[in-house]
């Protein structure tokens, strides 16, 4: 076998003196189309092995327990001594379990939620045991989007959903990304596109087509037939695709690879029915099926591209969050993302309003309660100057809080879980506290935004 003449001792860079025969000896056979299937199969096996971490005996994810220390520090604002007194005085409340005789008490999140409700009804009215939520107003939809991958889009959406659940909100997570990363985080099982958001979009189109067919019949014209897929979708509601997760107050509409088919099917429907308002499909179906009444927050994880699924998620959203790193390329890419958002939604408005003006109807105008960019994976030692520059240009659009990257974040990613699913006993307590602090602050900034929006809505209703 031929050998490379270059060695590190020569002092030359490693790309000099590469021997062609040695390079040839390192080559595998050329890859065919079937080779992609082999690589995909290997990745699928690895994904299953990694995802199996943290599964219970039934092969499903289970949420860890929460200690008295953690509950009183992060979840219910009471002193540990008072917490124990309340439990002792109310034996009908969850009492927790101990791993050893006389050891620390541990509680499920479902038990924590029951305890929080008790403190809210019986405890001091000066404390906010339950999160702010005006009565009579619908859930707020939050889209997390950017068309550049690797910016922390899915992890930001997942951790905000978990933060909100720990805070006591009832949360629905909608995964519109056919890669299904959000679905994996929450342990979802999705066999095909009929267990995703696809049938909701298909039903919205089917209802438009059925109404249009009635108008055709009234004019004496032949109706357009509904194919088998549309007929099947007309029988489905959001309840058919929403699945519970290992979090008692987080549900999921999952995703898998077949969902990407919607990117090809939606333009076909749009060509067949120009009057179909595809951007309203997700919003209308969630509202019609009562989803916005049953949940407090709906987090939508969008694909890293401005396709039809992303347009649906963005059009449905009340709040848009755009994660990005503190680098020139990500700042530049995010600027182009906002430019594309402007072009896309301005084009939709223009097209709709030409017809609206001709018919004397009110025009279409998209509006979001708030839009915020959030710096993720932040390294203050290396990125402080650039992040300050980004803040100067973006102003209030860029959240002043930056999401640091910590060892806790890295370990959670390796275990296919969220920060809040990590057991603090695997760390030094202070290491754990520092690790989750950046996400607590991210949620605090989001909750302040949410609270202000809900309060504005509440005053407008009054």
Phi, psi of 373, deg, nearest 5: -95, 145
Instruction: Please tell me the distance from the alpha carbon of residue 434 to that of residue 407, in angstroms, as a whole number.
Output: 10
Instruction: Please tell me the distance from the alpha carbon of residue 302 to that of residue 312, in angstroms, as a whole number.
Output: 9
Beta partners for residue 107, in sequence order: 66
User: Considering just the CA atoms, what is the radius of gyration of the chain in Å?
Assistant: 26
H helix intervals, 322-361: 328-359
Q: Which residues contact 29 (CB under 8 A, 6 or more apart)?
A: none
Q: Starting from the edge strand earliest in sequence, which strands make up the sheet with 250-253, in order? A: 242-244, 250-253, 171-175, 297-301, 140-144, 319-324, 370-378, 398-404
Angle CA 310–157–402, to nearest 5: 115
Query: How is 113-180 classified by DSSP, letter by letter?
Result: HHHHHHHHHHS-TTS--S----TTPPPEEEEE--SSTTSSHHHHHHHHHHHHHHTT--EEEEE--TT-
Instruction: Please tell me the distance from the alpha carbon of residue 261 to that of residue 419, in angstroms, as a whole number.
Output: 32
Angstrom distances, CA of residue 375 to CA of 274, 318, 338, 388, 391 = 39, 20, 16, 11, 10
Q: Which residues contact 432 (CB under 8 A, 6 or more apart)?
A: 408, 422, 424
pTM beyond 0.85 = yes
pLDDT in tens, the chain (462 residues): 555 555 555 678 877 788 888 888 888 788 787 887 887 788 777 766 766 665 665 667 889 999 999 999 999 999 999 999 999 999 999 999 998 777 889 999 999 999 999 999 987 777 889 999 999 999 999 999 998 777 788 888 999 999 999 999 999 999 999 999 999 999 999 999 999 999 999 999 999 999 988 888 888 888 888 889 999 999 999 999 999 999 999 999 999 999 999 999 999 999 988 889 999 999 999 999 999 999 999 999 999 888 999 999 999 999 999 999 888 998 898 899 999 999 999 999 998 888 778 777 888 889 999 999 999 888 878 888 988 989 998 888 998 888 887 655 555 554 556 788 888 887 777 778 877 888 899 999 999 999 999 999 999 988
Beta partners for residue 140, in sequence order: 297
189 C-beta neighbours (distance < 10 Å), count: 12
Question: Whose CA is closest to 76, among 91, 62, 94, 59?
Answer: 94
């Amino acid at each position: 076998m031929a050998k490379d003449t270059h060695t590190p001792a020569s002092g030359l860079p490693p790309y000099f003196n590469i021997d062609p025969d040695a390079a040839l000896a390192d080559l595998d056979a050329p890859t065919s189309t079937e080779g992609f299937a082999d690589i995909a199969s290997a990745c699928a096996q690895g994904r299953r092995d990694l995802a199996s971490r943290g599964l219970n005996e039934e092969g499903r994810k289970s949420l860890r327990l929460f200690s008295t220390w953690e509950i009183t520090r992060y979840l219910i604002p009471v002193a540990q001594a008072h917490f124990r007194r309340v439990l002792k005085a109310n034996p009908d409340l969850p009492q927790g379990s101990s791993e050893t005789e006389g050891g620390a008490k541990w509680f499920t999140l479902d038990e924590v939620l029951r305890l929080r409700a008790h403190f809210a009804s019986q405890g001091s009215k000066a404390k906010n045991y339950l999160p702010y939520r005006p009565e009579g107003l619908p859930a707020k939809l939050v889209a997390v989007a950017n068309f550049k991958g690797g910016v922390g889009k899915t992890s930001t959406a997942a951790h905000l959903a978990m933060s909100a659940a720990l805070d006591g909100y009832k949360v629905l997570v909608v995964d519109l990304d056919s890669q299904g990363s959000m679905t994996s985080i929450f342990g979802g099982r999705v066999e095909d596109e009929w267990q995703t958001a696809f049938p909701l979009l298909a039903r919205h189109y089917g209802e438009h087509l059925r109404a249009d067919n009635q108008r055709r019949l009234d004019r004496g014209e032949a109706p357009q037939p509904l194919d088998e897929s549309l007929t099947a979708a007309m029988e489905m509601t959001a309840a058919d695709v929403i699945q519970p997760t290992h979090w008692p107050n987080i549900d999921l509409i999952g995703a898998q690879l077949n969902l990407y088919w919607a990117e090809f099917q939606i333009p076909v429907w749009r060509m067949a029915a120009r009057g179909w308002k595809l951007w309203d499909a997700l919003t209308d179906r969630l509202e019609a099926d009562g989803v916005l009444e049953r949940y407090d927050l709906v987090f939508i994880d969008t694909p890293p591209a401005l396709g039809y699924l992303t347009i649906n998620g963005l059009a449905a959203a009340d709040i848009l969050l755009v994660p990005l790193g503190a680098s020139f390329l990500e700042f530049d890419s995010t600027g182009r993302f906002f430019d594309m958002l402007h072009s896309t939604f301005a084009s939709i408005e223009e097209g709709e309003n030409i017809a609206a003006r001709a018919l004397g109807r009110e025009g279409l105008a998209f509006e979001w309660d708030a839009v915020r960019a959030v710096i993720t994976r932040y390294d203050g030692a290396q990125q402080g100057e650039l992040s300050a520059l980004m803040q100067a240009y973006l102003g209030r659009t860029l959240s002043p809080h930056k999401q640091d990257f910590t060892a806790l974040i890295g370990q959670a990613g390796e275990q296919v879980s969220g920060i809040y699913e990590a057991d603090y006993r695997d760390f030094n307590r202070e290491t754990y506290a520092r690790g989750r602090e950046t996400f607590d602050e991210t949620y605090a900034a989001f909750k302040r935004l949410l609270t202000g929006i809900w309060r504005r809505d509440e005053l407008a209703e009054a």
